[in-house]
Amino acid sequence: MPCFNTMRSYKEMSKRRRGTIPQQTEKAEKPNPTSAILLIFSGTIALLFEIEIYRKTIIPFGLPFGLWLLTGIISLPLTPASIKGNRFIIRLFYCIMGYGGLLVTSLMVLNNSWQDSEMTTYKLPIIETGHQAAGRGSRCRLPYAVVNIYGIEKSLLFPCDTIIKGHTDIMIQTREGLLGFDVIVGKSLF
């Protein structure tokens, strides 16, 4: 008695002789998620650098944030094939973090890198002072002072050993960046 596998092979052989075996279709290749992972990773790392640049730039918060969101929404059709099958909200998240993060960081780096040679100095009253929360592995709580410049409340961070209480004014030096937003190049307490 022939085994089951042998019988199956006999059937296939007879179909091949008659030419009735259906053509085997190639399986659609699953898209490689590497591009999506690279996009989200690079956009997130870029945003971490952008936060540091934002702290030194006098720019309304809504401008880079709005550009970040708008770029992500507009770039939805450019979504890599590896995430096109996912839900809309996941694709939107990838686009905002990836494309939005890269564009906003690029523009902030451009503004920060090419500054005007002329320096402007401002003496501003301190609106509020305090200390940021310390991280898990750090005992340093960075002191900060909030000032109002051009109608924008800007929080300025200082090194851990700076005593900020008792000061009423801050002197800041700025230079105009390539895109027209001032970059803080120096600060001191008065």
* Other beta carbons within 10 Å of 128: 10
Question: Residue 33: its pLDDT value, please?
Answer: 66
Q: What is the pLDDT of residues 36-55, one digit of tens each?
A: 778 888 888 998 899 999 99
Q: What is the pLDDT of residues 144-163, one digit of tens each?
A: 999 999 889 999 999 888 88
Domain ranges of the chain: 34-113, 115-189
Confidence of residue 166 (pLDDT cuts 50, 70, 90): confident
91 residue type, one letter: R
> What H or E segment, with its residue span, contains residue 28?
none
**Which residues have C-beta within 8 Å of that of residue 90, sequence separation ≥ 6?**
83
